[in-house]
């Protein structure tokens, strides 16, 4: 399974494109084409047909468009700078006295461990 350095709900900065420099929270990751939807970033207009069953009016709807994962940098919550991420393993005491190796992400700038990197999505 593909592992991304960024995860849902991370705050990222856009590195390329028309919204370069913008910062937003990740709403969705589209694994099949390595794209990420970031809140209020890369807004596009989508033309929607009216849907009477959902009593939805037609028209132009503003919507976030996916960005490629390589055009995004994680903003570290500790040093609040766009940063690169490293992985590190922590040993933790688990159940039955066993040690559990847990994968965590850390900021390469301030070395702070970032939450949310250890689990699969």
Q: Residue 113 in contact with residue 105, Cβ under 8 Å? A: yes
- The answer to the question of residue 104 lying near Zn ion (CB under 5 A) is no
Residue 90 or 113: which CB sits closer to Zn ion?
113
Residue 31 or 81: which CB sits closer to Zn ion?
81
- The answer to the question of residue 107 lying near Zn ion (CB under 5 A) is yes
- The answer to the question of residue 115 lying near Zn ion (CB under 5 A) is no
- The answer to the question of residue 5 lying near Zn ion (CB under 5 A) is no
CB 23 → Zn ion: shortest distance, Å?
14
Cα–Cα dist 41/7, whole Å? 16
HEC assignment per residue over 10-52: CEEEECCCCCCCCEEEEEEEEHHHCEEEECCCCEEEEEECCEH
Q: 44-103: which residues touch Zn ion (CB under 5 A)?
A: 76, 78-79
- The answer to the question of residue 110 lying near Zn ion (CB under 5 A) is yes
């Amino acid at each position: 399974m593909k592992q991304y350095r960024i995860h849902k709900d991370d705050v990222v900065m856009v590195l390329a494109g028309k919204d370069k420099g913008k910062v937003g929270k990740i709403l969705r990751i589209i694994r099949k084409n390595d794209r990420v939807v970031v809140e209020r970033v890369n807004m596009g207009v989508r033309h929607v047909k009216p849907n009477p069953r959902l009593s939805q009016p037609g028209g132009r709807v503003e919507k976030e468009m996916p960005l490629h994962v390589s055009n995004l940098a994680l903003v570290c919550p500790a040093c609040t700078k766009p940063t690169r991420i490293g992985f590190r393993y922590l040993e933790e005491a688990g159940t039955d006295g066993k040690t559990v190796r847990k994968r965590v992400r850390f900021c390469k700038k301030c070395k702070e461990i970032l939450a949310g990197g250890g689990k699969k999505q």
